[in-house]
Amino acid sequence: MKLATFDTGVGLRTGAVVGDGIVDLTAAGLPSRMIDLIADWSRLEAKARATVDATKPQFKLSQVHLHTPVPDPQKILAIGLNYADHIAESGQARPDKQIWFSKLPNAVNGPYDPIELPKASSAIDYEAELVVVIGKRCRHVSKADAASVVFGYAAGNDVSVRDWQFHTAQWVVGKSFDTHAPIGPWIVTWDEIGDPHALGIRALVNGEMRQNSNTSNLVFNVFDQIAYLSQAMTLMPGDMIFTGTPGGVGMAMKPPSFLKAGDVVRIEIDKIGALEATMRQEK
Instruction: Report whether 277 contacts 115 (CB < 8 A).
Output: yes
The per-residue DSSP string of 107-126 comes to GEE-SSS-EEE-TT-S-EE-
Q: What is the pLDDT along the chain (283 residues), one digit of tens a residue?
A: 999 999 999 999 999 999 999 999 999 999 999 999 999 999 999 999 999 999 999 999 999 999 999 999 999 999 999 998 899 888 888 899 999 999 999 999 999 999 999 999 999 999 999 999 999 999 999 999 999 999 999 999 999 999 999 999 999 999 999 999 999 999 999 999 999 999 999 999 999 999 999 999 999 999 999 999 999 999 999 999 999 999 999 999 999 999 999 999 999 999 999 999 999 999 9
Q: Which domains does the chain have, with CATH numbers?
A: 2-67 (no CATH), 76-281 (3.90.850.10)
DSSP lists the bridge partners of residue 24 as 15
SS3 185: strand
The number of beta carbons lying within 10 Å of the beta carbon of residue 45 is: 13
- What dihedral do alpha carbons 39, 45, 48, 54 form, nearest 10°? 180
pTM for this prediction: 0.97
Q: Is the dihedral of CA 106, 178, 126, 170 positive or negative?
A: negative
